[in-house]
């Protein structure tokens, strides 16, 4: 099968896959047949977070900006696109979310308290849960980076079906019990120091044990607020995110702000084979790495009440892994038979969960579209006008080749619509079309048409230089594709840089610009060039019809088209059309007559003008003259033959 047919078939398959995927998503429910609209076109929900300093000091503008960036990263990690996050009044962060605020995004916005790492002193869970030391809702092994092969050592300890308050008579306390209140230190600690190490069993006072047994985690909101308000140097009783476990935690050892980065990786066996599960890798800044190393070393060596520590976010324990190996290099891995989704969620919480300030939701309300459907309609009309002008110019400049331009733009529009619709319906991306995105679509028409113009002009230049139309298409493409690739590469680099450095609506413009640049390359390579290869093999385009846009006479070809081996093409430009060749027998006869003529001329004596001949014959003996007056011109027939 020719390459041009393969390219056209590939484009058709791609369009069918996009259309089929959208149709299936709409039929099954949950998908929309068109891209979702952004805040400026549809409206949405506005949430105002009011900041409070932990120590009561004046709020630092730099801390507010850091908090804004962390909230922005957290929301973007959930796939909520075109969200506007700004600072107002120095103490408020205003978050405008397009459309209806879903539960997941609402909870993410409310997770504004600081993250902390605390050692687990004890765990209370229903007997049916089979609690183990330090088991949390995401309990899993913790090991030094590279030690993620210890997967599965932690056990699931939550009872997801439990909804009633736990009966203390049926509860199990997992952790040492100390009823001796005389363990209080004899000397007051220095300022900034703890009475005991954070993981010490000396924190297990009877009062804390009683509180642990009486806390009701089926409604974790009250306890969540209490933990959030607790001081960093005090032990606390916290619930897990499922509300089925109560954990007694020691004082804070490492603040969440000490986390430098967190990511997801495949879990590997000691032999380097993937287990099918995932681990969460995290690294700490220099100031937090030593404190984390001290805690993990103490827990691993049995110096603590348990061998687990809890990761507390917004007053809830999101994970309580066991320490399987001390982390002395500032890096660690959390494993526990995580799926990719579970590992990604924990990784996002670790990266974006630590805020430098505490926030509370001051208000939440619905807001109307700032631009609305009228502006969207005007933007689309502007795009259609631009499209019509491009097609009109193409018809004026390239005649029937304008049909190729129009068909290519139609293919481009179909692909763009399908891709944006799919990206809008994918929860991991959640793209929304803003007015800036509409501007990006209009701009895309310009540089898409530019690719066609470069290609057509290269082909016409080849025809002007004497090539046939079919050959001109192939040679022109070889020259044009390098220019098209260079131009689109510049556009793509600009879009990527703009997307990384910008926020809000500008990022939406950059996103559309990047997508349409990639689609432009697909259309030119899979449609424009193959369809022109097909058309030039028709009589209308291949023979250079004056309205085809490829007529050599109209283009002003100044030299005949050379076909090779001494042959010339006709003005039509087809390689198969060449000047008729002289038959071989006729050519041999003509050459023989010319040779005889030359021989006869060479043998005539210089004195022939006096009427005497070298053969002794006189005029009367010359058979060429009927009246004997002189020789007859015997080269007339040869001249006529030669002229023929």
DSSP 82: S
CA dist 255 and 253 (Å) reads: 7
Whether residues 271 and 408 fall in one domain: no
Higher pLDDT, 266 or 358: 266
Task: Please tell me the predicted confidence (pLDDT) of residue 112.
Answer: 58
551-559 contacts, C-beta under 8 A, 24 or more apart: 552/463, 552/464, 552/469, 555/460, 555/463, 555/464, 556/464, 557/463, 557/464, 557/465, 557/466, 558/464, 559/465, 559/466
pLDDT at 452 over 70: yes
- pTM for the complete prediction? 0.56
pLDDT at 111 over 70: no
State the SS3 of 131-191. CCCCCCCCCCEEEECCCCCCCCCCCCCCCCCCCCCCCHHHEEEECCCCCCHHHCCCCCCCC
Task: Please tell me the predicted confidence (pLDDT) of residue 622.
Answer: 45
Whether residues 310 and 458 fall in one domain: no
Beta bridge pairs of residue 610: none
Domain finish residue from 509, 542, 575: 542
Mean pLDDT, residues 130-138 taken together: 36
Which of 125-129, 197-201, 368-372, 468-472 is the least confident region?
125-129
Q: 570 is written with which tokens?
A: 């006709």
The string of pLDDT tens digits covering residues 290-337 is 899 999 999 999 888 888 999 988 788 888 898 988 888 888 888 888
Higher pLDDT, 384 or 616: 384
Task: Please tell me the predicted confidence (pLDDT) of residue 147.
Answer: 33
Task: Please tell me the predicted confidence (pLDDT) of residue 79.
Answer: 61
Per the prediction, the chain carries an average pLDDT of: 76
The percentage of the chain sitting over the pLDDT mark of 90, rounded to a whole number, equals: 20
The string of pLDDT tens digits covering residues 195-227 is 778 888 888 888 888 888 888 887 766 677 677
pLDDT tier, 472 (very low <50, low <70, confident <90, very high otherwise)? very high
pLDDT at 535 over 90: yes
If one counts every other C-beta atom within 10 angstroms of the C-beta of residue 42, the result is 22
DSSP 621: G
Check which CATH number belongs to the domain holding 99 and give it: 3.30.70.3220
Mean pLDDT, residues 85-97 taken together: 86
Whether residue 526 lies inside any domain: the answer is yes
pLDDT at 590 over 90: no
The string of pLDDT tens digits covering residues 258-302 is 888 888 999 888 888 888 899 999 888 887 888 999 999 999 998
Whether residue 360 lies inside any domain: the answer is no
Q: 244 is written with which tokens?
A: 């089925």
Domain finish residue from 542, 563, 586: 542
Locus of tokens 């997941």? 104
Whether residues 81 and 135 fall in one domain: no
Whether residue 78 lies inside any domain: the answer is yes
pLDDT tier, 459 (very low <50, low <70, confident <90, very high otherwise)? very high
CA dist 88 and 33 (Å) reads: 37
Task: Please tell me the predicted confidence (pLDDT) of residue 217.
Answer: 81
Whether residue 38 lies inside any domain: the answer is no
According to the per-residue pLDDT averaged within each range, which of 35-39, 379-383, 496-500 is highest?
Answer: 496-500
Check which CATH number belongs to the domain holding 479 and give it: 1.20.1640.10
Task: Please tell me the predicted confidence (pLDDT) of residue 605.
Answer: 53
Whether residues 125 and 203 fall in one domain: yes
Whether residue 634 lies inside any domain: the answer is no
The string of pLDDT tens digits covering residues 139-175 is 334 533 333 333 333 333 232 222 233 333 333 444 4
CA dist 261 and 281 (Å) reads: 8
CB 246 within 8 A of CB 222: no
Task: Please tell me the predicted confidence (pLDDT) of residue 152.
Answer: 33
Whether residue 348 lies inside any domain: the answer is yes
Whether residues 441 and 461 fall in one domain: yes
pLDDT tier, 378 (very low <50, low <70, confident <90, very high otherwise)? confident
According to the per-residue pLDDT averaged within each range, which of 303-307, 365-369, 616-620 is highest?
Answer: 303-307
Whether residues 382 and 423 fall in one domain: yes
Say how many domains are in the chain. 3
pLDDT at 237 over 60: yes
CA dist 324 and 302 (Å) reads: 11
Whether residue 586 lies inside any domain: the answer is no
Task: Please tell me the predicted confidence (pLDDT) of residue 110.
Answer: 65
According to the per-residue pLDDT averaged within each range, which of 246-260, 364-378, 625-639 is highest?
Answer: 246-260
Domain extent, residue 93, equals: 46-108
DSSP 127: G
- Helix 402-425 vs helix 372-398: angle between axes, to the nearest 10 degrees? 150
pLDDT at 380 over 90: no
Whether residue 151 lies inside any domain: the answer is yes
Which of 388-392, 469-473, 492-496, 600-604 is the least confident region?
600-604
Whether residues 453 and 401 fall in one domain: yes
Whether residues 290 and 328 fall in one domain: yes
Whether residues 258 and 231 fall in one domain: yes
pLDDT at 89 over 60: yes
Domain finish residue from 74, 108, 142: 108
Higher pLDDT, 248 or 162: 248
SS3 helix, strand, coil % of the chain, rounded to 5? 50, 20, 35
CB 44 within 8 A of CB 434: no
Whether residues 504 and 473 fall in one domain: yes
Whether residues 380 and 457 fall in one domain: yes
457-466 contacts, C-beta under 8 A, 24 or more apart: 458/483, 459/532, 459/550, 460/549, 460/550, 460/555, 463/544, 463/550, 463/552, 463/555, 463/557, 463/573, 464/552, 464/555, 464/556, 464/557, 464/558, 465/557, 465/559, 466/557, 466/559, 466/560, 466/561, 466/562
The percentage of the chain sitting over the pLDDT mark of 70, rounded to a whole number, equals: 73
- Dihedral (CA of 241, 233, 260, 88) sign: positive
CA dist 455 and 445 (Å) reads: 16
pLDDT at 183 over 70: no
Whether residues 202 and 335 fall in one domain: yes
- Report the C-alpha dihedral over residues 68, 253, 318, 299, rounded to 10 degrees: 150
């Amino acid at each position: 099968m020719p390459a041009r047919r393969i390219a056209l078939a590939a484009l058709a398959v791609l369009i069918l896959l996009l259309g089929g995927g959208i149709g299936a998503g709409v039929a099954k429910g949950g998908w929309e047949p068109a891209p979702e609209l952004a805040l400026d076109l549809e409206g949405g929900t506005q949430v105002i977070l009011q900041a409070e300093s932990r120590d009561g000091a004046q709020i630092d503008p730099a801390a507010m900006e850091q908090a804004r960036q962390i909230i922005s990263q957290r929301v973007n990690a959930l796939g909520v696109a075109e969200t506007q996050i700004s600072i107002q009044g120095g103490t408020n962060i205003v978050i405008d979310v397009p459309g209806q605020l879903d539960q997941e995004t609402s909870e993410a916005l409310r997770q504004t308290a600081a993250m902390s790492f605390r050692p687990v002193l004890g765990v209370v869970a229903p007997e049916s849960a089979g609690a183990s030391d330090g088991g949390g809702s995401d309990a899993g092994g913790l090991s030094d980076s590279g030690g993620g092969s210890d997967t599965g050592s932690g056990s699931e300890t939550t009872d997801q079906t439990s909804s009633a308050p736990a009966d203390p008579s049926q509860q199990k306390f997992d952790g040492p019990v100390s009823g001796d209140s005389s363990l209080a230190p004899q000397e007051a600690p220095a300022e900034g120091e703890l009475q005991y190490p954070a993981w010490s069993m000396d924190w297990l006072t009877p009062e804390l044990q009683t509180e642990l047994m009486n806390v009701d985690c089926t409604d974790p909101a009250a306890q969540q607020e209490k933990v959030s308000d607790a001081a960093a140097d005090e032990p606390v009783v916290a619930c897990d995110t499922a509300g089925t476990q109560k954990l007694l935690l020691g004082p804070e050892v490492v603040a969440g702000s000490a986390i430098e980065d967190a990511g997801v990786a495949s879990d590997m066996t000691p032999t380097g084979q993937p287990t099918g599960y995932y681990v969460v890798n995290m690294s700490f800044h220099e100031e937090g790495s030593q404190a984390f190393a001290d805690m993990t070393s103490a827990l691993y060596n049995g110096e603590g009440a348990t061998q687990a520590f809890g990761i507390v976010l917004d007053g809830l324990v999101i994970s309580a892994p066991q320490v399987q190996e001390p982390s002395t290099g500032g890096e660690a891995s959390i494993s526990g038979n995580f799926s990719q989704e579970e590992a990604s969620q924990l990784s996002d919480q670790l990266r974006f969960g630590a805020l430098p300030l505490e926030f509370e939701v001051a208000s939440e309300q619905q807001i109307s579209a700032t631009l609305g459907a009228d502006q969207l309609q005007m933007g689309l009309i502007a795009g259609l006008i631009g499209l019509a002008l491009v097609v009109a110019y193409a018809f004026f400049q390239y005649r029937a080749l304008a049909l190729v331009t129009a068909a290519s733009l139609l293919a481009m529009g179909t692909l763009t619509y399908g891709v944006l619709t799919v990206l809008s319906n994918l929860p991991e991306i959640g793209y929304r079309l803003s007015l800036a995105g509409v501007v990006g679509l209009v701009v895309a028409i310009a540089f898409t048409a530019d690719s066609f113009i470069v290609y057509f002009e290269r082909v016409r230049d080849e025809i002007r230089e004497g090539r046939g139309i079919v050959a001109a298409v192939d040679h022109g493409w070889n020259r044009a594709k390098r220019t098209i690739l260079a131009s689109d590469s510049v556009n793509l680099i600009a879009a990527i840089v703009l997307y990384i450095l910008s926020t809000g609506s500008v990022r939406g413009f950059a996103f559309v610009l990047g997508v349409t640049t990639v689609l432009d390359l697909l259309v030119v390579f899979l449609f424009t060039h193959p369809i022109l290869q097909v058309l030039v093999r028709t009589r209308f385009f291949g023979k250079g019809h004056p309205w085809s846009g490829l007529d050599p006479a109209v283009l002003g070809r100044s030299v005949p088209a050379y076909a090779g081996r001494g042959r010339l093409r006709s003005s039509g430009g087809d390689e198969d059309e060449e000047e008729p060749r002289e038959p071989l027998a006729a050519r041999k006869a003509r050459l023989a007559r010319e040779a005889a003529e030359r021989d006869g001329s060479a043998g005539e004596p210089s004195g022939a003008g006096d009427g005497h001949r070298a053969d002794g014959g006189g005029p009367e003996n010359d058979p060429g003259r009927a009246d004997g007056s002189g020789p007859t011109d015997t080269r007339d027939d040869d001249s006529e033959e030669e002229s023929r």
